Structure 1
Amino acid sequence: MAPTDPMAEIRASFFVECEELLEAMQDGLQLMDDGEDDSETIHIVFRAVHSIKGGAGAFGLEALVRFAHKYETVLDGVRSGRLNVDPELLKLFFRASDHLSDLVRACRDDTDIPTAQGEHLAGELDACIAAEPSLAEPEPEIDFNPVGLKLDLDFGPDLSEETTSESVKSYLITFTPDTEMYENGNDAYPVLHALSELGDCKVTCNTSKLPSFDQLVPETSYLSWDIELLTAVDEAEINSTFEFVEGLCSFSITDSDGETPELVSIPSLEPLPPLDEAPTAPPEPISASAQPAPKPEEQRAPAAAKSVVRVDLDRIERLVNLVGELVINQAMLAQSLQSAGLSPHSDAMNGLEEFQRLTRDIQDSVMMIRAQPVKSLFQRMSRIVRESSAAVGKNVRLHTDGETTEVDKTVIERLADPLTHMIRNAVDHGLESTADRIAAGKSEEGVVRLSAAHRSGRVIIEVADDGAGIDRARVFKIACEKGLVAADAALSDTEIDNLLFLPGFSTASTVSDLSGRGVGMDVVRTAIQALGGRISIASNEGSGTTFTISLPLTLAVLDGMVVEVAGETLVLPLNMVAETMTLTETSLETLQPGLNIVRVRDGFVPLFDLGHLLGYRDRKDTYVDSVALLISHEDGRAGALIVDEIQDQRQVVIKGLDDTYYRAPGIAAATILGDGQIALILDPSDIVAQASDLSRPAPAPMKMEA
């Protein structure tokens, strides 16, 4: 077995951290765009870019470092107040952030660097720097060499020439790296150099813990540093220099009793002798008695490190599969004990109940490991809005809500393409042009809203715009011209809206980079249905359109209701069953042969024979005393499905159907029951939607094929 390359692991860890930094950068820019341009928000963006640049330099990623350096320089001008944040500068920052993300991913995947876009953005950043001469500084030299004990630091300008004594403070800083800091590819030199840029400082390397050469363990960290710093910056700014190594070191920052010391010339740090010379006594560490004792309230405790373990996704997938098998075996064991006729109060049955509880807890915990907030997905959509609006010449803003809503990681990954289609559709088709919006009395800026929330055990994602809404007359005319519907067809508003999902349908008059080729919403519906979800449309003329996506929380395990229909065992998602009922003569009404409705309190809902719809048997003569399941929909509609018997309520493991099988409407997946029998998992909403076409005298059976 080939040995693992430690540098490859460190490099991979760096790119994982880059994703987190890019997310923090996007958050900060969004806050600035919302008007929260306080110093801390600007610091967040600056530190993210600075940290990416520092890590990229360690791996010699020259293109990434050079662009990050230009971006960082302009951000530093905003941070110091030399540049003002205006809408045009914010747009430049967003585009620079997008390109920085592209550079990070190109370096991670070893793909071609997008040079043309980078050169254009670099020119715009250079123009900002040229407009403020104080921002100009030499390009960084990328020359990464391991640093030993010899330190050669530039201690920055003499503060006595720039700052009054009233604004200067003296700090005592101790910095002790952990061994893990070096294992992650970090070094002490960048931290010390960053501190030196804050003011005049004296750095003493404490080698008191350095053992003799024969006892030296190369992988262990022995050195620490004591720093005396004279600076005009506050303690928070000093603390920010340790952000990139937070949790990988110990450090403390102490204000020396709040007294401003006399500004005197601080001697430079003497370099340590070369390693080949005779060893000398280690330099004396800073003595606590040499400085005034710090006040207790001024002691700063090291930042608490958040414990995070990064695990390869394949290992999590294997764990999920094993938990699925555990659920199946638990069901088999339960059925075996019940078949044996044991007393419900026996030790075996009591142990089985405890086993079931533990299995459920394990399954919930594993699902939580796979769950991730949709924030990263929503941030990607922000870029889609910027690029799409620029392509069609519209002024569009994206509002997001529910970014912390957690969804299965697999769902998030497979939802990116459908959402991209929907966002582009909203910008291109949903929103009017600027002139049309002004003529309609609306603001020049169009708004696209993207939200996520948990509802009834599912994830609901909405994409809404404040545009003109769906022109149903035009949609119907285009559908007739394309031969998708008959010219004399009587369609409801909902049915006309659903024409948008037909393959080959497009309302675009010309082909552009965004639309016009008849590919889009049909792909969206197919992708959503492949995830076990549904999509619906709500539109009001003149006020906008809302697309609603309903998805399962996970693609691994669900709580199901096991029913029997015509001798077949089927499973329905439990969260879609609002209630069960036994039909009576007084509750049943027949509108026409084959079309029945059932009274539910103060209203009526359509009644569907599940066995007939699935092609298992003919329609019954009467449904009196039959069992019906009331199915609820997110849009408020309802339907009742007739079954022969309700067997059980249990957790089932979702097994996806291979693409070689016929994709029958209403069949979402399959599962293995406790007795080893394979049962189909139904999508009740799809079944009701397929059977609800009242233009036919009776619902046509959906034939099942092997």
Structure 2
Amino acid sequence: MSTNDIREGFFLECEDLLEAVSDGFGAMGRGQRDKDTLNAVFRAVHSIKGGAGAFKLNELVDFAHQFESVLDAVRAEKLAVDDAVLRLFHRAGDRLADLVAAARDGIPVDADDSAPLAAELAALVDDDSGAADEAAASFVPVTFSLDLPGAGDDATDPLAAFVAPVPAATQYVISFAPNGALYATGNEPGLLFQALGALGDLTVTAESETVPPLSDLEWDRGYLTWTLTLTTEAGEGEIREIFDFVDGLCQLEILQADPPAAGAPANPSEPGESPVPFVPPVQAMGPDMDVPAETPPQVKPVVPVAQATPQTEAPSPAADNTPVQQRATIRVDLERVDRLINLVGELVINQAMLTQSISEVRLAPGNRVEASLDQLKRLSSEVQERIMAIRAQPIKPLFQRMSRIVREAGQAAGKTVQFEALGESTEVDKTVIERLGDPLTHMIRNAVDHGIEPPEVRIAAGKPPTGTVTLIAAHRSGRVIIELTDDGAGINRPRVRELAIAKGLIPEDKELTDSEIDGLLFLPGFSTKTEVSNLSGRGVGMDVVKSEIQSLGGRVTLASRPGQGTTVTISLPLTLAVLEGMVVETHGETLVLPTTALREAVQADPGNIHSIGTEGLFLSIRGGYIPIFDLGERLGFQENTAQADKRVLLLLETSAGNRSALAVDRVIDQREVVIKGLEGNYGHIPGIAAATILGDGRIALILDADELVARREPEPETSHLRLVATGA
């Protein structure tokens, strides 16, 4: 394994460690400030510092060390965590993430950028050292003479009255046997030994008898074990803390040795030799490593220590220190996964073509060819689902990034805002997660700047002074739904309408519903801010959100209640490669309607179709009336003269909960189709989400049901759809 691979593994591990830091602070914000939560955060920061030290990431090491010192003071109950301290911890966690990202991307870091925050962290623990500093400052030297009467070999030491008794040191014998997983996660035993050496006098013996010949070595196993003898004033608990973040990755036994006999050296060694100091094993990592000047160039062999007796009955390492079974994983280049997904898409297309060809032969029912074809269809569907699952990832890392956006936006706006996240385990396609970052950032900044009121306004309105921004993710009807909710003032619709008229976006006499007024916020150049701030006011934001979501095949809607807050709902496909669709025909064209919006298909009775004024046709069903739209007319095709009761009606329900019916000539079948994007060649086409290739080789357009229903009349851009659909 090359150094680059180890370095990459370290940064991948940092993602999990930073997630643990964020989770810990989130739990502490909810009042869960127990030792387990705090220790988890401490171990994560400590692990980042240790790994960064191996790669000489000095700025990261320095800041993590300062952060770790403050967390250690909290663990020692020398510092209480209140809301102000927790806010500082959040900022420190954000800075730690920035330093990790800069180190990963090779971006130079100015140490002065971290200095103010490091100083704030240091100030939290400076008070604890104040008493010691005061005692040191008030020390008065004592003058005395060594020429005392009777002084000699048997005389009492004249300095004894002025020297405080030194605490007795304890000698520990530590057996340390790492397994292969310890090395695979980028941990370095030498760094552990270096930390032990800081506690006292340490000698290290490597047990190499278990190392097989080179020809029999297995690269992913750990063979070396070490016996370490440590003489220290520290307790066993402090020693075990050093091994906390490799817990489960090694076999560890710590025993207290018998006290040495009177006059014997503290550390056992060859007769007449002075104790052998510990040399940090990281010296052997390469010629470019920094080795302290006082470190001797060689370590003399260490004589085995005297028989150790346990302080308490120690369990067998094999019984209590069995490594935790880890799930086997491999890292795969994302480009390879994408190529595999494309091949699966082609497999689905070819399976559809084969099905089409066999259906044209008109074989006898129940023949073996059709049975084999059905089995092939099931297998290809399962392969497609499994491949798509490879790209699916929990949305939690994205939500954690948004937590930081909320804190920074609240600070910039002078408001106190808390963040809540639900459904963080919801899995979403990796590409979707990557492209959701900017839209969610825009929406959160708008929610904090426009929605959440200042504390004094909230108190006057009977609300708590702290506003709340909530992100929710869930799977519904084969789609991913993300809701962003704030408990602010809601949308001031009269104000929005006035500004839209003033900007010439709508006529002054135009009557708009509440949802249509809310939709004005997505128009380019629209902003309710009269002054430009760091967060908003430039009229760029919500239109970018809408276009980005649409490019992902999704939809975005607004719902607001004055004085109670606003909810922005994003509906996205589970994957960007394959979808389940209903293949229909209208006006001689074959189209695909995603089944996520489809509720049922009906052949209406003439008595249930009514014409109401100038509003068009309505279907009477289950005690209600649903508007009927001709799909061909919506797409700009020629008007269909067939009666509505002679056609198939597809009952749809949009993400906003509105119901309608699309009239088509006939339904062909339901199948999985491979999505082929159109925007790269044609731009955004109203009412069209993408295209696909059918089993007979023809191109079919995939419809955007929500946009079709929302439009009131055909637009000029749809006049070329027939050319696209026929492949011309």
| Offset at residue 296 of structure 1 (A) | 7.1
| Residue in 1 that maps onto 2:293 | none
Q: What is the DSSP-based 3-state SS (H/G/I as helix, E as strand, rest coil) of the residue aligned with 2:651?
A: strand
Contact 1:206–1:283 at 8 Å: present in 2 too?
no
1:328 touches 1:652 (CA, 8 Å); kept in 2? yes
The amino acid of 1:161's aligned partner reads: P
Q: Which blocks of at least 5 consecutive residues in structure 1 are unaligned?
A: 138-158, 692-697
* 1:161 and 2:167 correspond: yes
Task: Give the AA of the match of 2:542.
Answer: M
Deviation at 1:522, TM superposition (A): 0.7
**In 1, Cα distance between the equivalents of 2:308 and 2:112?**
56
- Residue deviations 1:78-113, cap 9 Å, x none? 111111111111111111111111111111111132
From 531, 547, 563, the equivalent of 1:542 is 563
Looking at structure 2, the residues matched to 273 and 515 of structure 1 have their Cα atoms a distance apart, in angstroms, of 58
Aligned partner of 1:377 in structure 2 is 398
Which segment drifts farther, 378-387 or 332-341?
332-341
Q: Which residue of 2 aligns with 1:492?
A: 513
Match for residue 503 of structure 1 among 524, 527, 536: 524
Query: 1:517-536 alignment to 2 at 5 Å?
Result: 517-536=538-557
Partner of 1:301: 322
Q: Which residue of 1 aligns with 2:354?
A: 333
Give 2:27's aligned residue: 31
1:703 matched residue in structure 2 = 718
Q: What amino acid sits opposite 1:329 in the alignment?
A: N
649-658 or 611-620, which deviates more: 611-620
Partner residue in 2 for 1:268: 267
Distance 2:81 2:557 in 1: 40
Matched, 1:251 2:266: no
Q: Which deviates further from its counterpart, 444-453 or 654-663?
A: 654-663
Instruction: Give the deviation of 1:220 after TM superposition.
Output: 7.9
Shift in Å at residue 309 of structure 1?
A: 1.5
The worse-fitting range, judged by mean Cα deviation, of 204-213 and 459-468 is: 204-213
Please say if residues 226 and 285 of structure 1, whose CA atoms lie closer than 8 Å, have aligned partners that are also in contact.
Answer: no
What is the SS of the residue equivalent to 1:575?
Answer: coil
Partner Cα separation in structure 1 for residue 691 and residue 370 of structure 2? 28
User: Greater shift after overlay, 31-40 or 292-301?
Assistant: 292-301
Partner of residue 387 from structure 1, selected from 408, 420, 444: 408
Q: Which of 279-288 and 45-54 deviates more? A: 279-288
- Structure 1 residue 529 displacement after superposition: 0.8
Post-superposition Cα deviations, 1:534-564, rounded to whole Å, max 9, x if no partner, equal 1111111111111111111111111111111
Partner SS, residue 612 of structure 2 = strand
CA distance in 2, matches of 1:348, 1:278: 77
1:201 to partner: Cα distance: 7.6
The equivalent residue for 1:141 is: none
In the alignment, what sits opposite 2:655?
A: 634
Distance in 2 between residues matched to 1:135 and 1:325, nearest whole Å: 74
- 1:445 to 2:460 alignment: no
Match of 1:128 in 2: 124
Q: Output aligned runs, 1:203-242, within 5 Å.
A: 204-210=205-211, 222-226=223-227, 241-242=242-243
Aligned CA distance change for structure 1 residues 240 and 304 (closer, same or farther; 3 Å): farther
Q: CA deviation at 1:622?
A: 2.1
Q: Deviations over 1:304-341 (max 9, x none)?
A: 23322121111111111111111111111111222222
What are the equivalent positions in structure 2 for 1:363-442 lying under 5 Å apart? 363-442=384-463
Q: Which is worse superposed, 121-130 or 375-384?
A: 121-130
Q: Is the 8 A contact 2:608 2:620 kept in 1?
A: yes
Does the 8 Å CA contact 2:21/2:40 hold for their aligned counterparts?
yes
Unaligned runs of 5+ in 2: 134-164, 270-275, 285-296, 724-728
What corresponds to 2:78 in structure 1? 82
Does the alignment pair 1:8 with 2:9? no
2:645 matches 1:624: yes
State the AA in 1 paired with 2:267: S
Look up the SS of the partner of 2:428 in the other structure.
strand
Displacement after TM superposition at 1:502 (Å): 0.8
Deviation string 1:371-406 (CA, Å, 9 cap, x unpaired) is 011100000001101111111100000111111111
- Compared CA separation, residues 130 and 504, structure 1 to 2 (3 A): same
Alignment-mate amino acid for residue 703 of structure 1: T
**In the superposition, relative to structure 1, how do residues 393 and 17 fare at CA in structure 2: closer, same or farther (>3 Å)?**
same
Give 1:200 deviation, angstroms. 8.7
The Cα shift of 1:358 comes to 1.0
Tell me: CA distance 1:185–1:703, structure 2 relative to 1, closer, same or farther (3 Å).
Answer: closer
In structure 1, the residue matched to 2:617 is 596
- The answer to whether the aligner puts 1:69 opposite 2:75 as a matched pair is no
C-alpha distance in 2 between matches for 1:445 and 1:278:
61
Offset at residue 261 of structure 1 (A): 7.9
Q: Secondary structure at the match of 2:380?
A: helix
Residues 1:101 and 2:97 are matched in the alignment? yes
Report the AA paired with residue 74 of structure 2.
V
Q: Distance in 1 between the 2:219 and 2:17 partners? A: 31
2:607 equivalent to 1:586: yes
User: What percent identity do the matched residue pairs reach?
Assistant: 48
Deviations, residues 406-435 of structure 1 (Å, cap 9, x unaligned): 100000000000000000000000011111
Pick closer, same or farther for the CA change 1:213–1:107 going to 2, 3 Å. closer
Quick check: 680-689 or 173-182, which moved more? 173-182
Mark the CA change 1:353 to 1:581 in structure 2 (over 3 Å): closer, same or farther.
same
1:247-295 deviation digits (Å, cap 9, x = unpaired): 7x541447x7xxx8876689437559999x9999996699899998755
Aligned mates of 1:262, 1:416 — CA distance in 2:
60
Q: 114-123 or 605-614: which moved more?
A: 114-123
C-alpha change, 1:93 and 1:185, in structure 2 (3 Å) is: same
Structure 2 Cα separation of the partners of residues 434 and 452 of structure 1: 28
Counterpart amino acid of 1:251? Answer: Q
Q: What secondary structure sits across from 1:649 in the alignment?
A: strand
Separation in structure 1 between the aligned mates of residue 422 and residue 250 of structure 2, nearest angstrom: 38
**TM-score in terms of structure 2 length:** 0.84
Paired amino acid for 2:225? S
For the 8 Å contact 1:459–1:553, the answer to whether it is kept is yes
1:206-258 Cα distance to aligned partner (Å, 9 max, x none): 222246899999998542124578998788x87664465567x541447x7xx
**1:339-362 residue CA offsets vs partner (Å, 9 max, x unmatched):** 222234222211111111111111
Deviation (angstroms), 1:56: 0.8
Q: Note if contact 2:650-2:663 (Cα within 8 Å) is conserved in structure 1.
A: yes
Say yes or no: does 1:564 pair with 2:565: no
Equivalence map 1:174-185=2 (5 Å): 174-178=175-179, 181-182=182-183, 185=186
Helix, strand or coil: the match of 1:647?
strand
Q: Is the alpha carbon distance of 1:280 and 1:234 closer, same or farther for their aligned partners in structure 2, counting shifts above 3 Å?
A: closer
Whole-Å separation in 2 of the counterparts to 1:278 and 1:106: 37
- Note if contact 2:633-2:714 (Cα within 8 Å) is conserved in structure 1: no
Paired AA for residue 48 in structure 1: A
Q: 1-side partners of 2:98 and 2:428: how far apart?
A: 25
The structure with the largest alpha-carbon Rg is 2
* Residue 422 to residue 603, structure 1, CA distance change in 2 (3 Å): same
Q: Conserved in 2, the CA contact under 8 Å of 1:203 and 1:227?
A: yes
- RMSD between aligned alpha carbons? 3.6
What is the alpha-carbon distance in structure 1 between the residues aligned to residue 651 and residue 525 of structure 2? Answer: 35
CA–CA distance in structure 2, aligned partners of residues 350 and 421 of structure 1: 52
How many residue pairs get aligned? The number is: 665
How does 1:315-334 map onto structure 2 within 5 Å?
Answer: 315-334=336-355
- Output the CA distance in 2 between the equivalents of 1:325 and 1:231: 68
Give the superposition deviation at 1:585: 1.0
Give the Å deviation of 1:464. 0.7
CA contact (8 A) 1:205 1:285 kept: no
